[in-house]
């Protein structure tokens, strides 16, 4: 999915996409990392870019979504 489409999504839409498995946290992070890498050369906005950490966190989040194991209200589970 493009970064523009992701930016246009609300948190509720993103949580719904994760719950229905039409999107995964890993897919979203990979798309955002690709966008950041594509534009940062011209805008120079990222000074501490750690994509490995972001991907590791996304993998943990994806595992929680698959297991329906909430960490709190912001994980999208009630």
Report the C-alpha gap between 64 and 41 in whole angstroms. Answer: 34
> Could you report the per-residue pLDDT of 27-66, keeping only the tens digit for each?
999 999 999 999 999 999 988 999 999 999 999 989 988 8
> Do residues 41 and 49 make contact, with C-beta atoms less than 8 angstroms apart?
no
Both tokens assigned to 25: 């946290």
What torsion do the CA atoms of 40, 30, 63, 52 make, to the nearest 10 degrees?
Answer: -50
pTM: 0.82
CA angle 50, 12, 71 (to 5 degrees): 60
Given this model, what pLDDT does residue 74 score? 57
């Amino acid at each position: 999915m493009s970064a523009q489409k992701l930016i246009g999504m609300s948190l509720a839409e993103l949580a719904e996409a994760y719950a229905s498995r039409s999107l995964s946290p890993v897919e979203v992070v990979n798309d955002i990392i690709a966008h950041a890498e594509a534009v940062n050369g011209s805008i120079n906005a990222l000074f501490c870019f750690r994509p490995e950490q972001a991907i590791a966190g996304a993998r943990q989040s994806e595992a929680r979504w698959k297991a329906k194991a909430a960490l709190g209200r912001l994980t999208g589970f009630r």
